[in-house]
C-alpha cells in the first residue's frame, strides 16, 4: 500500500499515512482534529541491477548501424 503525505488545513502539520484507497484525499488530523489534505511531495528511488544505466535502460549488446 502506498504511503501519502497529508497537510492539515488548520495547524499546517504534515504527516504520512498508509492509504489503501487512492481516492481518499482528506483525513482527520491526529494533532488538532482538523481536515488534512493529501499533498504532492517528492520521493526518491533507486534503480538496482546490472542492466540499468544512468540515463535509461541500457543494452549490453553494442548497437550496430544497418
User: How many domains, the chain?
Assistant: 1
Determine contact, residues 34/9, Cβ cutoff 8 Å.
yes
pLDDT of residue 50: 64
Is residue 28 situated within a structural domain?
Answer: yes
pLDDT of residue 22: 72
pLDDT of residue 18: 84
Residue where the block lists cell 520521493:
43
Q: Is the pLDDT assigned to residue 13 strictly greater than 90?
A: yes
Is residue 16 situated within a structural domain?
Answer: yes
pLDDT of residue 33: 93
Is residue 63 situated within a structural domain?
Answer: no
Is residue 59 situated within a structural domain?
Answer: no
- Domain extent for 34: 1-41
Is residue 10 situated within a structural domain?
Answer: yes
Its pTM stands at 0.57
- Beta-bridged to residue 7, according to DSSP, are 14, 37
pLDDT of residue 58: 57
- Residue-wise pLDDT for 19-54, tens only, equals 877 778 888 998 999 999 999 877 766 666 666 666
Is residue 66 situated within a structural domain?
Answer: no
Amino acid at each position: 500500500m502506498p504511503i501519502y503525505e497529508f497537510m492539515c488545513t488548520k495547524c499546517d502539520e504534515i504527516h504520512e499515512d498508509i492509504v489503501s484507497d487512492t481516492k481518499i484525499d482528506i483525513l482527520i488530523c491526529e494533532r488538532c482534529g482538523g481536515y488534512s489534505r493529501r499533498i504532492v511531495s517528492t520521493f526518491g528511488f533507486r534503480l538496482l541491477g546490472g542492466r540499468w544505466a544512468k540515463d535509461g535502460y541500457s543494452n549490453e549488446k553494442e548497437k550496430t548501424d544497418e
